[in-house]
Amino acid sequence: METFNVFEKIFGLNFLSALISVILPLVFLIIYALIAILGELKISAWIQERLGPMRTGPYGILQPLAEVVKLIQKEDIVPAGANRLLFNLAPYVIFAGSFAGFAVIPFSAAFVPAEINIGLFYVFAVGAFAVIGIVMGGWASNNKYSLLGAMRSASQMISYEIPGALVILSAAVLANSLDMQKITTLQDGGFWNWFLFGGPGNWTKIWIIPFTLLLSLIYMIASLAETNRTPFDIPEGESELVAGYHTEYSGMKFAMFFFAEYSNMFIVAAILTVVFLGGWTSPFGTFMGGFWWGIFWFILKAMFIVFIQIWLRWTLPRVRVDQLMYLGWKVLLPFSLVCFIVISLYRIIY
């Protein structure tokens, strides 16, 4: 089988190449998280006509670093009555779940940490891992707010996996594959070939363009709910549940939760990018294409999605639990089902 991992090509399939393949995404994740936190701080500030952090470094760009240092220094408190084992384990479970998703994300034409042909399926499987960590943390905290947050989170995640999965299914039908790298290469050759605009094909694909647009929108909404971000941040809804499932966490463990949230944001952005925005392919055909440009395009597109997530967060109020369920089961699910049927019909006819 042909490999897309450049390190495997260089070093061969051994421990060294595997190690590099693991560490490289982790380094990327850390740098990305710092940038995303800074982005969150700065964008929220600018939207609210504030300056945001300005003291740490020029224009405050070192602020996330300072926050990490602060969190490391903080006392690690375990509340009395907490289940120590689960309490200590939960942040790492969540982080492991979100980091595992990085294994199949195609950063470029020549670099996928682990090339497996059911990449999309795998991402969904490990993405659901996070809910275990949240319920663990919420239950082990011995705090009623945490428990409420955890329960909300569990119900929320379950209901949003389904429309999200249906969107991915539709995309898989269109691409005839679950392999993320293959889906990306299919969309090569300009933005017109993106699945956002119906994918590659002749003029007949115009019929499905509204449906693919709708699908990407549905995935965007479902992913917001999956990553617990506003308007769906009810598991941690700060005005109701103080901080939800991570109320009792402090120091590095809280940082882990924080980290996992941003890493989750990137994963859903990456899936959206790969499935609908052509992954690492250049929007201008062969212009600005290639290995390095591929990384550039991929990160740019993913970061744009992350920006939209941040932008939405600072615009909208929070929905209520029952409304979230309503939206998930009664709006997103029927719409995604309709899209799925239409796209399947399209595949059968053409």
Partner 1 sequence: MIDYFKNVWTWFYTILLGMRITLKHLFAKKVTIQYPNERYPIPPIARNRLHLDPERCNGCMQCARICPVQCITVETIKVVPIDPEKPTMFDGSPRKIWVPRYDIDFAKCCFCGLCTTVCPTDAIKHTIDFEYSSYTREGLIYHFSNMTPEKIEEKKKLLAEWTIKEKALKAEKAKQDSNVSSNEVN
Partner 2 sequence: MTTTKFVDIDFSKIDSDRMRLNVGPQHPSTHGVLRLEVELDGEVVTNVIPHIGYLHRCFEKIAENMNYQQVIPYIDRMDYISSMNNELPYVMAVEKLLGIKVPEKVEYIRVIMCELNRIANHQIAIATFGLDAGAFTPFLYLFRDREYILWIFEKATGGRLLFNYFWVGGLANDVYPTFKEDVLNIVKQVRKTNKEIEELLIYNKIFIDRTANVGILPADVAINYGCSGPVLRGSGVPFDLRKAEPYSIYDRFDFEIPVGKGEVGTVGDCWDRNIVRMREMEQSCRIIEQAIEQMPDTGDVQSAIPKKVRPPKGEIYFRCENPKGELGFYVVSDGKDKPYRVKGRAPSFVNLSVLPEISRGYLFADLIVILGSIDIVLGEIDR
Positions in the binding site for partner 1 (CB under 8 A): 43, 45-51, 54, 311-312, 314-316, 327, 331
CA distances from 272 to 101, 267, 277, 307 (A): 13, 9, 7, 13
Of residues 330-349, those binding partner 2 (CB under 8 A): none
With CA atoms as reference, report the closest residue to 269 among 303, 222, 228, 294. 303
Instruction: Choose among partner 2, partner 1, none what residue 233 binds, the Cβ cut-off being 5 to 8 Å by kind.
Output: partner 2
The answer to whether residue 159 forms part of the interface with partner 2 (CB under 8 A) is no
Give the CA-trace dihedral at 92, 102, 151, 142, to 10 degrees.
10
Of the pair 129, 314, the CB lying nearest partner 2 is at 314
- Residue 26 or 316: the one with the smaller Cβ distance to partner 1 is 316
DSSP state of 327: I
Shortest distance (Å) from residue 49 CB to partner 2: 6
For residue 269, the surrounding DSSP H or E stretch is: helix 251-276
Mark 230-269 with x for binding to partner 2 (rule: CB under 8 A) and - for no binding: xx-xx--xxxx-x---------------------------
List the single partner that 224 binds among partner 1, partner 2, none, CB under 5 to 8 Å by kind.
Answer: none
Closer residue to partner 2, CB minimum distance, 149 or 283 = 149
In the complex, the smallest distance separating the C-beta of residue 322 from partner 1, rounded to whole angstroms, is: 15
CA-angle at 327, arms to 321 and 328, nearest 5°: 90
Selected range binding partner 2 among 126-134, 255-263, 295-303, 310-318, rule: CB under 8 A: 310-318
- Tell me which residues in 25-54 interact with partner 2 (CB under 8 A): 44, 47-50
61 touches, from partner 1, partner 2, none (C-beta below 5 to 8 Å by class): none
Please state the φ and ψ torsions of residue 108, each to the nearest 5 degrees.
-160, 175
| 48/202 with CB nearer partner 1 | 48
Question: From CA 19, how far away is CA 96, in angstroms rounded?
Answer: 16
Q: Hey, what's the torsion of the CAs at 141, 143, 145, 147, to 10 degrees? A: 60
Measured CA distances, 139 to 67, 76, 157 (Å): 27, 18, 17
Q: Which stretch binds partner 2 (CB under 8 A): 96-104, 202-210, 276-284, 321-329?
A: 321-329
Residue 315: phi and psi, rounded to 5, are -110, -35
- 340: tokens are 């799925």
Residue 261 is encoded by which pair of tokens? Answer: 């949230």
| 12 torsion bin: left (phi>0), alpha (psi -120 to 50), beta (else) | left
Q: How far is CA 324 from CA 231, 266, 309, in A?
A: 9, 22, 17
Residue 285 main-chain phi, psi, to 5 deg = 65, -130
What whole-number distance in Å separates Cα of residue 163 and Cα of residue 332? 6
- Regarding 148 and contact with partner 2 (CB under 8 A), the answer is yes
Provide the 3-class DSSP secondary structure of residue 111. strand
Partner whose footprint covers residue 43, from partner 1, partner 2, none (CB < 5 to 8 Å by kind): partner 1
30 binds, among partner 2, partner 1, none (CB under 5 to 8 A by kind): none
Give the nearer residue to partner 1 in terms of CB position, either 45 or 100.
45
Q: Tell me which of partner 1, partner 2, none is bound by residue 311, counting a contact when its beta carbon lies within the kind-specific cut-off of 5 to 8 angstroms.
A: partner 1
Determine the size of the site formed for partner 2 (CB under 8 A): 28
CB of 112 to partner 2, least distance (A): 38
The residues that touch partner 2, with contacts defined as CB under 8 A, are: 44, 47-50, 144-145, 148, 152, 230-231, 233-234, 237-240, 242, 314-323
